[in-house]
Amino acid sequence: MAERNNCESMEYITGFRGSSGAVIVSRDRSCLVTDGRYALQAKVQSPFELRMQGSGTLPEKTLEVLAEGRWQTAGYEANRLTVRLFEALKPAAPRWRDASALLPALRRTKDEVEVAAIRKAGSIA
């Protein structure tokens, strides 16, 4: 799960460039939780299932979405998640793993499409 202050990982995973959101990914589901200010932007930028925060808080809606699954292990970015939010989310899964090093490593690895885009940008500059 990427929380609102980690725009780099959230954008890399979902394509969504907003500044408020949470990302939930499992083998069979990919979900982006954000607030109403970003509804149109999220629909345009991300193929993920979109869940709107509504009148509650982002952590409350994220916990609601997590509660819909049967999570054995959940990942989070410790350097991006407050202790308060982590404590609120802990009941959603029996085990939690710090994935702080995983997402930046994935962002550093480029596939053929990303390499081609970088080369094209370099040739334009």
Q: Inform me whether the pLDDT recorded for 42 exceeds 60.
A: yes
Q: How confident is the model at residue 39 (pLDDT cuts 50, 70, 90)?
A: very high
**What is d(CA 35, CA 57) in angstroms, rounded to the nearest whole number?**
9
- Cβ-based neighbours of 53, under 8 Å, separated by 6 or more: 33, 34, 35, 36, 60, 61
Alpha-carbon Rg for the chain, nearest whole angstrom, is 15
What's the rounded mean pLDDT across residues 51-79?
87
What's the rounded mean pLDDT across residues 65-70?
86
Q: Inform me whether the pLDDT recorded for 78 exceeds 90.
A: no
pLDDT of residue 4: 43
**What is d(CA 5, CA 8) in angstroms, rounded to the nearest whole number?**
9
What's the rounded mean pLDDT across residues 103-111?
79
Q: How confident is the model at residue 2 (pLDDT cuts 50, 70, 90)?
A: very low
More confident residue, 102 or 107: 102
CATH number of this structure's domain 7-124, picked from the four choices 3.30.420.40, 3.30.70.20, 3.40.47.10, 3.40.350.10: 3.40.350.10
pLDDT of residue 6: 54
Q: Inform me whether the pLDDT recorded for 41 exceeds 90.
A: yes
> What digits encode the pLDDT tens for the residues 6-30?
578 888 889 999 988 999 888 888 8
